[in-house]
Amino acid sequence: MIKKAIIARHYGFCMGVKRAINIAEETARDSDEQVTILNEIVHNDAVVKDFREKGVGQKFAVDDVETGTLIISAHGVSPDVIERATNKGLKVVDATCPLVTRIYDIIAKAVGQDYYIIHLGDRNHDETTGVHGHAPDRITVISNKEELDQYPDWTDRKLGLTVQTTMGLEDFVEFQEAAQKKWPHIEVFETICNATNKRQTSIMDLAPEVDMILVVGSTTSANSGRLANIARLLCGRAELINSAFDIKAEWFEGDGDAVETVGVSAGASTPDFLVQDVIRRLVKISGGTAEVVRQEKKKKARTAKIAG
């Protein structure tokens, strides 16, 4: 029987997601022409559906957009995408998160200083595709430390390391150590965003306090998926759910191992109303008796580990 629900200290919409949604809403409101979003404005099914219902189009290739305004999503794109859209006569509105743009700037500066970039990221993610497109001849994308063996010693190259904004902290630290062992001369440019960092540390601190963690977010959201993985690893019982409809009452039942305290978090692209729906559903399952509290602040910041 659920007795308590603890909401993560940091969860839900980040600055870059709020900004991208505001830009897309304003553009759709002020435009007389067709507005189309390239890819998903942010990786959340409810947000994507909301724009579709407001008449905003969604396409996955510039070639499929004939006229009007094209909005670039929070994850950014390669410069050649913007060039092709402009050449077609489309008006381009760029909602790329400033922290993704920061990676482009870091790479441009490093390449100008003759660095060759190793970028740790998911090859299939929009953000990684966009980052790679900013210097395709000077960036190698690597997805995990196991792949390092495939590459030469590159003692003759100046090497720089960048990382996808939503990469797991522990994964990055492990990769960084392995990369520095292989390439002692590699220079690290830490580009995991602070919002990702805070949501992951909240989950790490929450895990020992609860019997189960629910992460609200879409399966397309990289950062929601990572939060769920961390929760599963540290708490043992965790579920990634799209909305309150996915919750099954039997998850909380058990003979001797029933769930009494549930932790709740959400990815950076998850709207708050979905989290509030989840809380209401948990309270309902408890028969209206569950206490709902916010996770307390820890004295020691786990983020210090990354800086070292």
Question: Residue 27: what are its φ and ψ, rounded to 5°?
Answer: -65, -45
Of 265 and 286, the one with the shorter C-beta distance to ligand SF4 is 265
Out of 6, 9, 16, 24, the only residue in the binding site for ligand SF4 (CB under 6 A) is 16
Q: Does 166 bind ligand SF4 (CB under 6 A)?
A: yes
User: Of 113-121, 167-175, 193-201, 230-238, which part binds ligand SF4 (CB under 6 A)?
Assistant: 193-201
In the complex, the smallest distance separating the C-beta of residue 139 from ligand SF4, rounded to whole angstroms, is: 18
Binding mask 215-254 for ligand SF4 (x = CB under 6 A): --------x-------------------------------
Of 199 and 237, the one with the shorter C-beta distance to ligand SF4 is 199
Of 221 and 286, the one with the shorter C-beta distance to ligand SF4 is 221
In the complex, the smallest distance separating the C-beta of residue 107 from ligand SF4, rounded to whole angstroms, is: 15
User: Of 8-16, 47-55, 235-243, 271-279, which part binds ligand SF4 (CB under 6 A)?
Assistant: 8-16
Footprint of ligand SF4 on 42-81 (CB under 6 A): 74
User: Of 21-29, 96-104, 146-154, 224-232, which part binds ligand SF4 (CB under 6 A)?
Assistant: 96-104
Q: Are strands 35-38 and 69-72 parallel, antiparallel or unpaired?
A: parallel
Q: Does 285 bind ligand SF4 (CB under 6 A)?
A: no
On whether the CB atoms of residues 4 and 293 are closer than 8 A, the answer is yes
Chain position whose Cβ is nearest to ligand SF4: 16
Q: Does 95 bind ligand SF4 (CB under 6 A)?
A: no
Burial 26-37 (b: 16+ CB within 10 A, else e): ebbeeeeeebbb
Burial class (CB in 10 A: 0-12, 13-18, 19+), 130: buried
In the complex, the smallest distance separating the C-beta of residue 101 from ligand SF4, rounded to whole angstroms, is: 9
In the complex, the smallest distance separating the C-beta of residue 225 from ligand SF4, rounded to whole angstroms, is: 13
User: Of 11-19, 107-115, 174-182, 258-266, which part binds ligand SF4 (CB under 6 A)?
Assistant: 11-19
Please give the size of the binding site for ligand SF4, defined by CB under 6 A: 15
Q: Does 196 bind ligand SF4 (CB under 6 A)?
A: yes
User: Of 94-102, 173-181, 281-289, 292-300, which part binds ligand SF4 (CB under 6 A)?
Assistant: 94-102
Out of 8, 35, 85, 97, the only residue in the binding site for ligand SF4 (CB under 6 A) is 97
Rounded CA-CA distance 202/23 in Å is 29
The residues assigned a catalytic role are 127
Q: Are strands 261-266 and 4-7 parallel, antiparallel or unpaired?
A: parallel
Q: Does 99 bind ligand SF4 (CB under 6 A)?
A: yes
Residues binding ligand SF4 (CB under 6 A) = 14-17, 74, 97, 99-100, 165-166, 193, 195-196, 223, 268
